[in-house]
């Protein structure tokens, strides 16, 4: 039975690397995958890229993309063995349910990778639904400067000072976000 998986973590925990490794494992065994990433993240174009240099071409999804329809259309022409989706925090509620339907009705495993919370400690919409309905939840680990598990994403400005206001979504990498444990996240915002 196919499942809907949610692999979540703070920034810099290796989510994209893990997705790319899973993609490689399927393809190495002669299986066909379909990789997706959020269109809102334009840093890499239609690619999933990891900080350690791994990358793969990807389809992009916007808030209005019908993932069920797109995957089923591709699956009907040549069977898809696994769907892998990066930046899952940007999924809409409807899209998460479409991915669940792919697992439940089409029998295609779906592996979603994304952030759990934003820079204010609030759940992203896609992450919220995935935490509620995924068959399997897997927390990937990042490390705070103190050595504890980093669970929070501190947004910083151009000079490295903490930011605690603004839009939920602001695309960036190490230049804009620092993964911290909850204690150091709270201290940085005080």
Query: Quick check: is 87 catalytic?
Result: yes
Determine the Cα–Cα distance for residues 183 and 137; give it in Å rounded to an integer. 24
Q: Is the sign of the CA dihedral 157, 145, 50, 83 positive or negative? A: negative
Q: How many residues does the chain have?
A: 190
Helix (H) / strand (E) containing 152: strand 152-156
Contact at 8 Å (CB) between 13 and 140? yes
Distance from C-alpha of 81 to C-alpha of 22, rounded to nearest angstrom: 12
> Quick one: angle between helices 67-77 and 93-105, nearest 10?
30
In the chain, which ranges are continuous DSSP H helix? 15-28, 67-77, 93-105, 125-133, 182-189
Closest residue by Cα to residue 52 from 10, 20, 6: 20
| CA dihedral sign, ordered 130, 60, 31, 71 | positive
Catalytic residue among 28, 55, 87, 165: 87
Catalytic residues: 87
């Amino acid at each position: 039975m196919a499942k809907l998986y949610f692999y979540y973590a703070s920034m810099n925990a290796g989510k994209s690397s893990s997705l790319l490794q899973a993609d490689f494992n399927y393809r190495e065994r002669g299986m066909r995958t379909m990789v997706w990433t959020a269109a809102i993240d334009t840093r890499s174009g239609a690619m999933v890229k990891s900080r350690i240099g791994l990358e793969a071409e990807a389809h992009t999804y916007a808030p209005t993309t019908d993932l069920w329809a797109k995957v089923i259309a591709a699956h009907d022409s040549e069977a898809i063995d696994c769907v892998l989706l990066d930046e899952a925090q940007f999924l809409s509620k409807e899209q998460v349910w479409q991915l669940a339907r792919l697992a439940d009705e089409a029998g295609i495993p779906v592996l979603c990778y994304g952030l759990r919370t934003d820079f204010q400690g609030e759940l992203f919409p896609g992450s919220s639904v995935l935490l509620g309905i995924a068959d399997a939840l897997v927390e990937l680990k990042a490390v705070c400067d103190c050595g504890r598990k980093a669970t929070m994403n501190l947004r910083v400005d151009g000079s490295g000072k903490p930011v605690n206001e603004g839009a939920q979504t602001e695309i960036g990498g190490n230049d804009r976000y620092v993964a911290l444990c909850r204690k150091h996240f709270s201290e940085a915002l005080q």
